[in-house]
Amino acid sequence: MASPSTADRAAVIGTGLIGGSIGLALRARGWHVTGHDADPDRAAQALAAGAIDAVGFDPAAQVTFVATPVDAVAKEVAAVLGQVGLRGDAVVTDVAGVKGPVVASVGDPRFVGGHPMAGSEQVGLDGADGELFVGATWVLTPTAITDPGSYARLQAVVVSLGAEVVALSPEQHDALVAVVSHVPHLTAATLMNLADRKAEKHAALLRLAAGGFRDMTRIAAGQPGIWPDVCADNAPAIVEAFDILLADLSAMRDRVANGDRAGLLDVLEHAATARRSLPSRAVRPERLSEIRVPVPDRPGVLSEITTLAGDLGVNIADLEIAHSAEGDRGVLVLVVDADGSERLVEALHGRAYRATARNLQ
Amino acid sequence: MASPSTADRAAVIGTGLIGGSIGLALRARGWHVTGHDADPDRAAQALAAGAIDAVGFDPAAQVTFVATPVDAVAKEVAAVLGQVGLRGDAVVTDVAGVKGPVVASVGDPRFVGGHPMAGSEQVGLDGADGELFVGATWVLTPTAITDPGSYARLQAVVVSLGAEVVALSPEQHDALVAVVSHVPHLTAATLMNLADRKAEKHAALLRLAAGGFRDMTRIAAGQPGIWPDVCADNAPAIVEAFDILLADLSAMRDRVANGDRAGLLDVLEHAATARRSLPSRAVRPERLSEIRVPVPDRPGVLSEITTLAGDLGVNIADLEIAHSAEGDRGVLVLVVDADGSERLVEALHGRAYRATARNLQ
C-alpha cells in the first residue's frame, strides 16, 4: 500500500465514468484516492489517467464510493465493511440508479445509498470529469438505521464536490426517478423505434426529424445494457408511472380526435409554463439560513428530518450533529437555502420538532 | 414602390421568424425583397432589421413566400395571385406545418405548398437568421395540378438558401410529421405536465430532472398558440400515430411489469442503434448523379417523380424541365445524391419511366 499520508483518504470501487469522475474530483480537492475495479486493466487505466493514486482497497478510507453496476453493489459494500482494520468512522455509499433493493439488501448503519444525477449519457473512464458533479443533484437515501454521523460526514464530502444533496427515502427516490428518468427514457426509445419502423417504408421520415425529435430521442442512444436491471429493480414505480402516462396520453389523443381546441391550448400552455420554470443546474443560493432542531437520540430522526427537507425541495448545504452534555439529546444544525427555510421550519413544527431558524450573512 | 431594379425580386407575406429569415437569406443572396405583415409595426421592424427592402406587395416578384399563421394562408395566396399586373411566371409558396388542408384550399397551379423544417422553437423577428435554412430540410408538396415550371423555379430558390428539398405529397408530409413532430410535441407536453403534477406534492422531483428529462421536454416550452390549428388540420394523422404510440408504450409497460429482460434489452438496443444512425443536419453530398427521365407532357408527372424521390429519401439538388421540339414530350433532368441514384432509377423503371443515370464529377 501507499505510505502513510496526512491527506484525507477515500476509495472508489469501480472506475468507470462515475467512479473515475469521483476519483478525479476528490484528488483535485486534496484527497488520497485508492481505486479497485473488477477489470484490472480498467483500474490501471484509472491510475494512468490520474483518477486514483493507487490500485487496491484502503481500510483507512474515510469514505468509499461503490460505483459498480447495481447487481454488484451489495457484495462490494459487504467486502468494504468487512475489511480487516477498517477505520471506525468509515462510511460507504453507492451510485446505483435505483435505491430500494440496494439499501434493503445492505442494511448497515455505516452505508448510505446515493445517486449522483449526472453523466448518464456517456460511458467509461474516457468521459470521466472531475467537475461532473458541480451543480448536479446528488440524492442520498438515509433510513431509520442510518448512523447520523456517517450521514453527516458523507454529506460534507458530496457537497465539497460541488453537488447539491437531496435526501430522500429510497422509496421516494425510486418513485420520483420513475417519473423523471425511467419512463421518459423508455418513452424516448419507443418514439425512436416507432419512427424507425415508419422510416423503413418512407425513408423521407428521418429527413423530417428536426431538432425537437432529436432532443426527445437523444437519451435513447444511451447504454441499453443498464436498463434491464433498472427496470427489474424499479418495476412497481415504473409501471405506476407508465399507467398515469398512458392515461394522460390517451386524454391528449382524445382532445385531438374531438377537436377540443380549448383543452389543447390549456394543457400546452400549462406545459410551456412548467417547462420554462424548470430549474436549470442548481445555482448556489445567495442567502443561507441556519436551522437548529433539538432532537432525541433515537434512530430514524436524522433520516426523517433530512428526507422531509428533500421532499420539500429544500437544499441542505451543510449539516452537523451537536450532542448535548446529557447524551440523550442533541441538536441537529442544518444550513439551508434561505428561500426554503420557513417551509422546512413549518413542516418540522408540524411534526412537533422545536426548530428555530436564523438568516446567515 | 421601389424603383425598377435588375435584381431578382421576391416577396414575403408575414415577417415573423420564418418570413424574416427568408427575407434575410434572400437579400444576402442579392434578391430585392418586398415584405408585408398584417401588423404594420412588424413590417416596419423587418425593414429596420434589414429583412426586407421595402414594405408592401410586389406584383413583379418571381416568388412570394406566404409565412403567416396557417389560417391566413389561403386568403393571402389568393391576394398575391390576384394582384393586378402579376408577372406571368410568378410562383407562390407557404410555410405552414400541415399541408393537406392548405394545398387543397388553394388549388392553383402556380402555388406549391412548402414547409421549412427549422426554427420551430423561437418566435418573432428577433430570432430571424439568414442562415437558418442551411442544411435544413425544406419540404415541397407538388400535386397533379402543380405547374412543373413553377415547381422547378421554386426548388431552385429554396436550394439556393442552403436547404435540402424533400418533395412529398401533402398527405405523405402530414402523416410523417405527425410521427416525428406533432405526436412527439404532444408527448413532451404530457410528460412535463405529469412531472409538474407530481412536483406539487414532491418538490424534490424537479431537482431530480436531469439532462435527459430536460432534453425530452424542451420542445414543450415552444409556442402553445400554434398547436390547436396544427392539431385541427392534421387530426387524422395525429390520432393514427398516437394509437400506434399508445400500443407501443403499453407493450413497453408490460415488458417492465412482466420482467421481460430480454425483450427490454432488444427494443432498447434497437432504439440506441436507430438513434445513433439518425442523420444530423444534412451534409452536401460529395458526389452527385444526373438522372434524365423522358416524360409525357401531362399533369402530375412532375409531382409523381419528385414525391417518389422524396419518399425514397433521395435528395434532389437540382431539377430542370427540358421540353422537346415536338412539344408533347419533355425530359425531366434531376441532379441527386449519387448514393440514392440507383434506388430512384430502379423505382422509376418500376413505374415504366425510361430513366437513365450518370455520375457527375
Of B184, B193, B241, the CB nearest to A216: B184
Taking CB atoms and an 8 Å cutoff, what residues of chain A touch B71? Answer: none
The share of chain B scoring above pLDDT 90, in percent, equals: 68
pLDDT at B335 over 70: yes
Taking CB atoms and an 8 Å cutoff, what residues of chain A touch B284? Answer: none
pLDDT at A348 over 50: yes
Contact B202 A252 (CB under 8 A): no
User: What gap in Å lies between CA A193 and CA B272, rounded to an integer?
Assistant: 9
In angstroms, the Cα distances linking B50 to B18, B26, B55, B126 are 14, 11, 11, 12
The share of chain A scoring above pLDDT 90, in percent, equals: 69
Structure confidence at residue A3 (pLDDT): 47
Q: What stretch(es) of chain B map to CATH 1.10.3660.10? A: 175-276
Taking CB atoms and an 8 Å cutoff, what residues of chain B touch A95? Answer: none
Q: What is the pLDDT of residues B118-175, one digit of tens each?
A: 865 556 788 889 989 988 899 999 999 999 999 999 999 999 999 989 999 999 999 9
- Candidates A179, A342, A346: best to mutate against B (most CBs of B within 10 A) is A179
Of A207, A221, A248, the CB nearest to B272: A221
Contact A211 B245 (CB under 8 A): no
Structure confidence at residue B108 (pLDDT): 95
Res. A77 pLDDT band, cuts 50 70 90 = very high
Tell which CATH architecture fits domain A181-276. Answer: Orthogonal Bundle (1.10)
In angstroms, the Cα distances linking A122 to A46, B120, B156, B288 are 16, 28, 42, 36
pLDDT at B2 over 50: no
Res. A122 pLDDT band, cuts 50 70 90 = low
| CATH number, domain B175-276, options 1.10.10.410, 1.10.3660.10, 1.10.260.40, 3.50.50.60 | 1.10.3660.10
Structure confidence at residue A212 (pLDDT): 85
Find, among B161, B160, B164, the residue nearest to B139 by Cα: B164
Of B211, B212, B224, the CB nearest to A269: B224
pLDDT at A284 over 90: no
Whole-complex ipTM: 0.85
Of B164, B193, B212, the CB nearest to A185: B212
Contact B275 A217 (CB under 8 A): yes
Taking CB atoms and an 8 Å cutoff, what residues of chain B touch A311? Answer: 202-204
User: What gap in Å lies between CA A99 and CA A79, rounded to an integer?
Assistant: 19
- Candidates B169, B190, B226: best to mutate against A (most CBs of A within 10 A) is B190
Res. A325 pLDDT band, cuts 50 70 90 = low
Which CATH superfamily does the domain covering B288-359 fall into? Answer: VC0802-like (3.30.2130.10)
Structure confidence at residue A1 (pLDDT): 42
In angstroms, the Cα distances linking B240 to A262, B117, B174 are 21, 22, 11
Q: What is the pLDDT of residues A47-62, one digit of tens each?
A: 999 999 999 999 999 9
Taking CB atoms and an 8 Å cutoff, what residues of chain A touch B256? Answer: 186, 231, 235, 238-239, 242
Question: What is the 3-state secondary structure of chain A?
Answer: CCCCCCCCEEEEECCCHHHHHHHHHHHHCCCEEEEECCCHHHHHHHHHCCCCCEECCCCCCCEEEECCCHHHHHHHHHHHHCCCCCCCCCEEEECCCCCHHHHHHHCCCCEEEEEECCCCCCCCHHHCCCCCCCCCEEEEECCCCCCHHHHHHHHHHHHHCCCEEEECCHHHHHHHHHHHHHHHHHHHHHHHHHHHHHHHHCCHHHHCCCHHHHHHHHHHHCCHHHHHHHHHHCHHHHHHHHHHHHHHHHHHHHHHHCCCHHHHHHHHHHHHHHHHCCCCCCCCCCCEEEEEEEEECCCCHHHHHHHHHHHCCCCEEEEEEEECCCCCEEEEEEEEEHHHHHHHHHHHHHCCCCCEEEECC
Q: What is the dihedral of CA B132, B134, B138, B142, to 10 degrees?
A: 120
Contact A205 B246 (CB under 8 A): no
Higher pLDDT, B121 or B49: B49
Structure confidence at residue B326 (pLDDT): 59
Of A139, A238, A248, the CB nearest to B190: A248
Taking CB atoms and an 8 Å cutoff, what residues of chain A touch B228? Answer: 261-262, 264-265
Q: What is the dihedral of CA A196, A201, A203, A205, to 10 degrees?
A: -60
Structure confidence at residue A326 (pLDDT): 59
Q: Is the dihedral of CA B50, B56, B61, B66 positive or negative?
A: positive
Structure confidence at residue A4 (pLDDT): 45
- Candidates A256, A276, A311, A346: best to mutate against B (most CBs of B within 10 A) is A256
CB pairs under 8 A between A and B: 338
Contact A242 B235 (CB under 8 A): no
As a whole number, mean pLDDT of residues B254-261 equals: 98
* Kind plus residue range of the DSSP H or E element containing B245: helix B235-257
Q: Nearest chain A Cα to B340, which residue?
A: A203
- Which cell is B285 given? 453530398
Contact B166 A269 (CB under 8 A): no
Concatenating the DSSP letter of every residue in B146-190 gives: --HHHHHHHHHHHHHTTPEEEE--HHHHHHHHIIIIIHHHHHHHH
Higher pLDDT, A238 or A204: A238
Contact B259 A217 (CB under 8 A): no
Of B166, B190, B244, the CB nearest to A194: B244
Q: What is the pLDDT of residues B195-236, one digit of tens each?
A: 999 998 888 888 888 778 988 998 898 889 889 999 999 999
Contact A248 B121 (CB under 8 A): no
Find, among A246, A272, A253, A351, the residue nearest to A304 by Cα: A351
In angstroms, the Cα distances linking A108 to A88, A113, A195, B167 are 14, 11, 47, 64
- Candidates A174, A191, A217, A229: best to mutate against B (most CBs of B within 10 A) is A191
Q: What stretch(es) of chain A map to CATH 1.10.3660.10? A: 181-276
Angstroms from A1 CA to nearest CA on chain B: 38
- Measure CA A8 to chain center: 23
Angstroms from A74 CA to nearest CA on chain B: 21
Q: Nearest chain A Cα to B275, which residue?
A: A221
Res. B283 pLDDT band, cuts 50 70 90 = low
CATH of domain A9-168: 3.40.50.720
- Which cell is A19 given? 467512479
User: What gap in Å lies between CA B62 and CA B8, rounded to an integer?
Assistant: 7
Higher pLDDT, B240 or B221: B240
Contact B282 A250 (CB under 8 A): no
- Which cell is B321 given? 424541365
The share of chain A scoring above pLDDT 70, in percent, equals: 93
pLDDT at A281 over 60: no
Res. A285 pLDDT band, cuts 50 70 90 = low
Contacts of B2 (CB under 8 A, 6+ apart): B32, B34, B53, B54
Q: What is the pLDDT of residues A223-263, one digit of tens each?
A: 898 899 999 999 999 999 999 999 999 999 999 999 999 99
pLDDT at B4 over 50: no
Taking CB atoms and an 8 Å cutoff, what residues of chain A touch B314? Answer: 203
Q: Nearest chain A Cα to B230, which residue?
A: A256
Q: What stretch(es) of chain B map to CATH 3.40.50.720? A: 9-168
Of B172, B177, B271, the CB nearest to A192: B271
| Mean pLDDT, rounded, of chain B | 90
Q: Nearest chain B Cα to A181, which residue?
A: B213
Q: What stretch(es) of chain B map to CATH 3.30.2130.10? A: 288-359
